[in-house]
Amino acid sequence: MADLDLLQGTLDLIILKALIWGPSHGYAVARWVADTTGDDLQVEEGALYTALHRMEKRGWIAAEWGLSENNRKAKYYQLTSTGRNQLHTKTEMWNRYARAVGRVLQTS
């Protein structure tokens, strides 16, 4: 189980979750993630954009240009059906993994 997978997987999971409410641009996603996780997770925004673009390439999310609230051109992302499936799978995986690590941490 490679570390990187976990890292990416977790980030993907968070972003997919952020898009569950509907199309959103990168800035809004970053804000939502920061607001929701507070100080617990400080997601680097560069990594976030990388993840967005990678998932766009894989077809988990689709991107279109639109106008933002303040009438500026912005790139909007939204979940595709593949993305929705990914979200379920990743949630499941995350829960199982966190449980497993938790067990190891609780042994003494």
Partner 1 sequence: MTMLPRFRRLFRIDRGAVDVPVAVADELQFHFDMTIDELLAAGKSREEATREAHRRFGDLEQTRLGLQHIGRVRVTRERRAQWWSGMSQDLRYALRGLRLSPGFTIGVMLTLGLGIGANATMFSIIDPLLFRAPSHLAHPDLVNRVHLATQYQGKEFFRANYSYRTFLDLSRDTHSFADFVGYWPRNLAVGDGTETQERRVTGVSASFWQLFPVRPELGRLFSAQEDKVPFGENVIVVSWPYWQSQLGGRRDVLGQHLHIGKLDYTIIGVAPRDLIGLELTHPMGFVPLTSMATNSFEDRGAGRRYYDSYSMNWLQLVAERKPGVSVAAATADLQQAMIRSLEQKSALQPGSDPIASLKPRAMLSPIQFEAGPNRSTATKVGTWLVGVALLVLVIACANVGNLLLARALRRRREIALRLALGVTRGRLLAQLLTESLLLATLGAGFGLLLASWGGSVVRHTLTPDAEAGGVFSDPRMLAFAALTMLVAALLCGVAPAVMVLRADLAGALKSGSREGGYHRSRLRVGLLVVQGALSVVLLVGAALFVSSLRQVRAQPLGYDADKVTYVEQNLRGTALTDDQRYLLLDRLVQRAQELPGVVAASRTTSVPFYMDWGEPLFVPGIDSVSKRGDFVLQAVTGGYFRTMGTRIVQGRALSDADRAGTEMVMVVSQSMARALWPGENPIGKCVKIAADTLPCRGVVGVAEDIKRGSLSDDPGLMYYVPILQYPVGAFGIFVRTSAPATETADGIRRALQAEMPGNAYLTAQPLADLIAPEMRSWELGATMFTVFGGLALLVASIGLYSVIAYTVAQRRQELGVRVALGASVRSVLQLVVGDAMRMMAIAVALGIAGALLAARWVAPLLFHTSPRDPLILGGVAAALLLVGLAASFAPAWRAAHIDPATALRSE
Partner 2 sequence: MPRARNDILQGTLGLLVLQTLATRGPLHGYAITAHIIQASAELLRVEEGSLYPALHRMEQDGWVKAEWGITEKNREARFYTLTPQGHKQLAQEQESWTRLTSGVRRVLRYA
**Which of helix, strand or coil describes residue 23?**
coil
Q: Is 4 in the site for partner 2 (CB under 8 A)?
A: yes
Q: Interface mask (CB under 8 A) for partner 1, residues 27-66, using x and -?
A: xx-x-------------xxxx-xx--xx-xx------xxx
With contact defined as beta carbons under 8 Å apart, do 61 and 77 qualify? yes
76 strand-pairing partners: 25, 64
- When CB distances are held under 5 to 8 angstroms depending on the partner's kind, the choice from partner 1, partner 2, none that residue 61 binds is none
In whole angstroms, how close is the CB of 80 to partner 1 at the nearest point?
Answer: 13
What is the binding site for partner 2 (CB under 8 A)? 1-4, 6-7, 10-11, 13-14, 17-18, 20, 33, 36-44, 47, 91, 94-105, 107-108
